[in-house]
Structure 1
Amino acid sequence: MSLGPTDEFVIDDSQRMTVNGTINKTGIMLMIVVAVGAWAWNYSLTNLASAQTILYTGLFGGLISGLVVAFKPNIAHIGTPIYAVFKGLFLGTISAFFEMRYPGIVMQAVGLTLAVMFAMLFSYRTGLIKVTETFKKVVIFATMGIALFYLVSLVAYFVFGAEVSYFNTENASMFSIGLSFVIVGIAALNLVLDFDFIEQGAANNMPKQMEWYGAFGLLVTILWLYIELLRLLAKLRE
């Protein structure tokens, strides 16, 4: 039966995407990352010889599961927890490595990540940053460029054994430090896109399962921002 001009399509509240529901799911995913990361951290400190295996398992497991969720939003309720586990393995291990070389750097990176996240949320809610179509295009294209840079760097390292100077924090150039600032800035702006997606999804009565997709996007950005801040702080210490 077709709907007339005065008919309404009503979605039950229990089947509707909400901002609070998305935030709750994001919080649960972050707790999984922290819990798995704590285990990987402790394991790395006592098993340095095999810690690299945990690192690469988390790196490639997170990459694959993240790509699957990104292109298959309907399975985000399954893929997002899996992604959180793999990222916990990766971040816990690499954080331990950074902490051993630069004591206190992890808590600094965590604090800065939270500060940037709340600053972006404040900017979005108060209208200091407006999400226009042009804004979206610029941030998305910049993010795609960074993702391509990461991909080429991974291929160069694992296939040809060539290390890209950007990822070397021990002998960081001013250009490398400047590039880190730019990437941190792009990651921060992606938070605004995530906030907007969640708010618009709730306003447009998207189905409940999209809360998982919104949580996935926000989780990816938060963890990306953390690792880039960790790398930036290491370069500045050197």
Structure 2
Amino acid sequence: MRSSNPVFSRRGFSRDNGAAGFNGQQPQAGGPAVGTNPYATGNPYAEGATNPYATNPYAPQQDTQLGAPQARGNVMTIDDVVSRTAMTLGTVVLTAVLSWLLLPVDPANLGKSYGIAIGAALVALVLSLVQSFKRKPSPALILGYAAFEGVFLGVISAAVSTYIADGVVIQAVLGTMAVFAGVLIAYKMGWIRVNRRFYGFVMAAAMGFMLLMVTNLLFAVFAGGDGLGFRSGGLGILFGVIGIILGACFLALDFKQVEDGVTYGAPREEAWLAAFGLTMTLVWIYLEMLRLLSILQGDD
């Protein structure tokens, strides 16, 4: 079973045959393995599961003479995830602010700014796909994705603030932060339990949501108007709320992936993948929040 986030599906945090681990490794001697996963001893989402990375050579080892754990370097820590995520999100914010200031969205230049934003979004998509299929995380690709994604977000945010409602961008940012904090608290308190059933439900719901949105976009392109109406009026509000809920579910899955990696000694480079996944999820939530607030403000 693959991770919820495409950046985890190629390498780190993938789950094959119900077991968690890192792809591309050889089985370690002396340790049990499930399938081709050198670290798995069972399903990490199952109740009472054992350490899926029990034979991980990066994990802290026991000192047989002193009886104390002997730490090894090159293992991912929560500080690594936080610092990489801060760098990635900081890049998004910086380029978003610069594009807001340097790419005017007045009627005379709106078409040009939109063209740049769409081009930046396509480049960000390509970079994210390239990173998703690489065996190792590339900080250059991840930060490049963040930079181009920020250009797209900056132009879209400026246009929404100018033509729909001033202040809606701040509300969307605060709403995204509130969702992040709420999901993190709920996850740490154990109110959200990430297991196989949760994973399957979220992935099925996300696939259905994306199919509906693509269908709506195709109808809008070829038939004109708002397509099937999934992005305006009452249906737009409903699907905006569903999109935010799905984003919150993806955050919970991302937190589980990070927790597994930190707990079981993933290589430090995997912190970049964790930052990449969290950034993609937060961008999703922000865009859905901005769209929902825009509809609500437009109906006033």
With the shorter chain as reference, the TM-score category is 0.7 to 0.9
- Aligned partner of 1:212: which letter? W
TM-score if structure 1 supplies the norm length? Answer: 0.88
Shift of 1:96: 0.3
Q: In the alignment, residue 166 of structure 2 is paired with which amino acid?
A: P
Residue equivalent to 2:99: 40
**Structure-2 separation of matches of 1:108 and 1:75:** 33
**Partner residue of 1:28?**
87
CA distance in 2, matches of 1:161, 1:36: 35
Deviation digits for residues 50-109 of structure 1 (CA, Å, limit 9, x no counterpart): 201221112211222222222335134232111101100110000000100210000000
CA distance in 1, matches of 2:219, 2:284: 21
Instruction: Find the partner of 1:71 among 127, 130, 133.
Output: 133
2:150 to 81, 84, 88: 88
Question: Does the aligned pair in 2 maintain the 1:116–1:188 contact within 8 Å?
Answer: yes
Q: Tell me, yes or no, if the aligned pair for 1:77 and 1:209 is still in contact at 8 Å.
A: no
Structure 1 counterpart SS, 2:104: helix
For structure 1, the 5+ residue unaligned runs are: none
Alpha-carbon distance in structure 1 between the residues aligned to 2:162 and 2:269: 40
Alpha-carbon distance between aligned partners in 2 of 1:236 and 1:8, rounded to the nearest angstrom: 53
More helix by share: 1
Match of 2:159 in 1: 97
Q: Which moved more, 1:68-77 or 1:183-192?
A: 68-77
Preserved CA contact (<8 Å) 1:73 1:213: no
Q: Counterpart in 1 of 2:195?
A: 132
Contact 2:236 2:292 in 1 (8 A): no
Secondary structure of 1:15's aligned partner: coil
CA contact (8 A) 1:69 1:76 kept: yes
* 1:137-181 superposed Cα distances (whole Å, 9 cap, x missing partner): 1112222333334444555556x37443334xxxx2212211111
Aligned residue in 1 for 2:173: 110
Change (3 A) 1:208 1:156: farther
Greater Cα offset, 144-153 or 25-34:
144-153
Letter in 1 for 2:258: I
Q: CA deviation at 1:16?
A: 1.0
Pair 227,42 (structure 1): closer, same or farther in 2 beyond 3 Å: same
**Which stretch has the larger CA shift, 149-158 or 183-192?**
149-158
Alpha-carbon distance in 2 for matches of 1:9, 1:215: 22
CA pair 178-115 structure 1, distance change in 2 beyond 3 A: same
- Write the distance in 2 (CA, Å) between the matches of 1:234 and 1:8: 51
Instruction: Tell me, yes or no, if structure 1 residue 166 matches structure 2 residue 230.
Output: yes
Structure 2 residue aligned with 1:229: 289
**TM-score (normalizing by structure 2):** 0.71
Aligned length: 231
Does 1 or 2 have the higher relative contact order (CA < 8 Å, sep 6+)?
1
Q: Runs of 5+ in structure 2 lacking a partner?
A: 1-27, 32-53, 59-70
Alpha-carbon distance in 2 for matches of 1:153, 1:64: 23
Counterpart of 2:122, as a letter, is F
Larger CA deviation: 143-152 vs 211-220: 143-152
Distance 1:20 1:154, change over 3 A: farther
Mean alpha-carbon deviation: is it higher for 191-200 or for 59-68? 59-68
